[in-house]
Each structure stands twice: as C-alpha cells, then as structure tokens.
Amino acid sequence: MTKITPQPGILEIAPYVGGVSKIAGMSDAVKLSSNENPFGPSEAAIEAFRRAGFDLHRYPSTDHADLRVAIAATHGLDAGRIICGVGSDEILHLMCQAYAGPGDEVIHTEHGFAIYRIGALAAGATPIEVPETGRTTDVDAILAACTPHTKLVFIANPNNPTGTMIDADAVRRLAEGIPETALLVLDGAYAEYVEGFDGGAALVGARDNVVMTRTFSKIYGLGGLRVGWGYAPGHVIDVLNRIRGPFNLSGPALVTAEAAVRDQAWVEKCRADNTRQRAWLAAVLAGHGVPSDESHANFILARFADPQEAEACNAYLLSQGLIVRGVAGYKLPDCLRITVGDEASCRRVAHAIGQFKGGAR
C-alpha cells in the first residue's frame, strides 16, 4: 500500500464521464449529447484559426488583452474585469481553489453542473447540495442553506441539464441575501441562447460579490478550442490572476476566440435557429407523450414514464445512430437530455422517439 495520498476530498470525486461520442460502424450517427452547436464556429473564426498556425513557435499572450478587449467591446463591459480560462471549467475551478478550503461550504443546486461539486472537493471544501423546486433553482432554499461557512454559491442560469432559468429579480435577491463573506457565481454557459439576456453582467457591475462565467464552447461552436471567460469585481480578478497559469490559453485559441466574439451575426443566426428547432422538437416530443420543461438553452430535458423507459429509449436511439445523454448521474434517471441539432437531426430524433413510444424497441 502506498503511503502517498492525495488531499482529503479528492478520492470522493468520481472521474468525469463524458458519455458516448461515436458508434462503431455507423458513419451517419448523430451526436446530440454534449450541447454542441450543430453548425460549428463561424467562418471568421475558422479563418483566424488557420492563420494562427504560422505563429506556433511563439508563446501566447499572458494577459489575453486582445481577447478581453474584444469581449468587452461586444458586451459593453470593462476589459479590466474580464479573465479568460481554459473553458469556463477552469474559471469555476479557480474560484474554488481561491475562495474555498477545508471547513468552508460551497453551495450548488440539486441538478447543478458536476464541476461545482468536483471543484469544491478538489479544494478540500464541503459541497452542499440544495433542492430545486420543480427542476428550477430555488432561491429561498439556497438562502436557507447558507451558513457563516458558505464561501461560494454556484448556479447556472439557464441550468444544465434542466434547461430552466430564474429571472433577474430572483438572481438579485440571491446576491443580496447570501452571507457577506460569500461570492455568488452565475454560470452563463448557455446565456447567449436567451435573447436579450446579459447573463448577470449588470449585476456583476453593480456589486462586489457576484461573478459571471461564460464560454465559447456552446453557441460559438468552439468546444474543441477550450476557451471561457469570467466577469468579476476587480478584487476577484486580482486574486484569480495570481493563481492561473500564465500561459493558460494557447495562441490559436486566443485569436480564434477573438474572431468569434467579433462575429455576432453568427451568434444571432445560431440563436434564432436554436429557438426555432427547440420549439419544434419540444412540441413533437410532447405529442409523442414525452414532455419537457420550457428550455432556455440548446437542449431539451425529455421526461419519460420512469427510469426503465428512459434507459430503454436511450438504447433504442443508440441502435438508430442517435447519441443523446442519460442524466441519471444528475439525479434525473427518468430523463434524457437531447441537444437541439440542425433540422435533419431534430427530425431524426423526433421520429425515432415516436417509433419507440409506438412500440418499437
């Protein structure tokens, strides 16, 4: 037996399981399991990535100034309060590392994104799971769960995997109600899918206890590039910059993300397409006896009669070359999360679910 052991908490973390991404022997399989943009990145982003290949011998920028300025210009924010990371995952981890440790509590919601709990345990802190109401973040339940040990409160808005969201008043009430020593982290990975939504940026600007995280992995179609960013009060930016890797983002990642954020026409096109396809898919599935809560993101949480039916449907979809996501690990064993794909994929998955409900297995 080795005497070398990791920090307490780390062995409580189950390694992240990404799910199926390919089906052997099925070249027309469609992946609707990771909430990726079916159209990929904009042409401008692809072009910037190609050009970046010429500078591979150079270390990248350490302060990400060009990308931060582009993000700030697009969203009307202060570039000095932006931090960029290797996906928003890195920012969420840095928040835990910087603000939570042994004896501290980190709140996340019942069906919240897995990384909040992982980040808390990795930092030696205690994750506290708070129940939701009808698969939606419950502000009163979170406030009731706060203690003098609460250091971080994570919510995703819209939430993954439920697709639900809470309004700006509810978020403000949360920011005003948490202990003075705690930070509220608003995970806006899906914020761009909500027309006219700032992800909580105005609240960050108005307070010193709110942080917002965003990503290039979803609507920008750049999940493979690993770029995310955070908007935070100056005191938080200062802390995070002390611990992040100086060259955390590669040169190609920086220039590609910059071109992507400057191309908002692509974002608008993808948002409009998602809204249309999502409404169609939700309505057709409901017609097949598979309801879902109103989704504000690029996926639908389809509800089946019971966990056995959800599992059987998942197996049937796989046999038809359709990869969706089982969410039993998120305590939703009777549900499947289906990414809103392009029109052809939505038709295919809706048709297959119709066949399954009609008796095909």
Site string for ligand PMP, 98-137 (x = CB under 6 A): ---------------x------------------------
Question: What does the chain come to in residues?
Answer: 361
Q: Which residue is nearest to ligand PMP (CB)?
A: 87
* Contact status: 164 vs ligand PMP (CB under 6 A): no
277 CB-near residues (< 8 Å, 6+ apart): 340, 341, 342, 343, 346
Stretch that binds ligand PMP, among 18-26, 87-95, 249-257, 332-340 (CB under 6 A): 87-95
Residue 338 and residue 88: Cα distance in Å, rounded? Answer: 22
Per-residue interface string for the shown chain with ligand PMP, residues 202-241, x marking contact by CB under 6 A:
-------------x-x-----x----x-------------
Residue closer to ligand PMP (CB basis): 42 or 217: 217
Task: Tell whether residue 36 is a contact of ligand PMP (CB under 6 A).
Answer: no
Give yes or no for a contact between 139 and 166, defined as CB atoms under 8 angstroms apart: yes
Q: How far is the CB of 119 from ligand PMP (least distance, A)?
A: 11
Q: Given the structure tokens 């603000």, which residue do they identify?
A: 99
Q: Which residues from 268-287 bind ligand PMP, rule CB under 6 A?
A: none
Q: How many chain residues are in contact with ligand PMP, going by CB under 6 A?
A: 12
Contact between 216 and 257 (Cβ < 8 Å): yes
Q: Of 188 and 356, which CB lies nearer to ligand PMP in the complex structure?
A: 188
Please name the residues in contact with 151: beta carbons below 8 A apart, sequence gap of 6 or more.
Answer: 99, 100, 104, 105, 106, 125, 181, 182, 183
Task: List C-alpha distances in Å: 63 to 196, 224, 256.
Answer: 29, 22, 16
Residue that the structure tokens 């949480």 belong to = 301
Query: Are 298 and 340 spatial neighbours (Cβ–Cβ below 8 Å)?
Result: yes
160 part of the interface to ligand PMP, by CB under 6 A = yes
Q: Give, as ranges, the residues between 169 and 188 that touch ligand PMP (CB under 6 A).
A: 187
Beta carbon nearer to ligand PMP, 216 or 266: 216
- Residue 89 interacts with ligand PMP (CB under 6 A)? yes
Q: How far apart are CA 20 and CA 318, in angstroms?
A: 9
- What residue ranges bind ligand PMP (CB under 6 A)? 87-89, 113, 156, 160, 187, 189, 215, 217, 223, 228
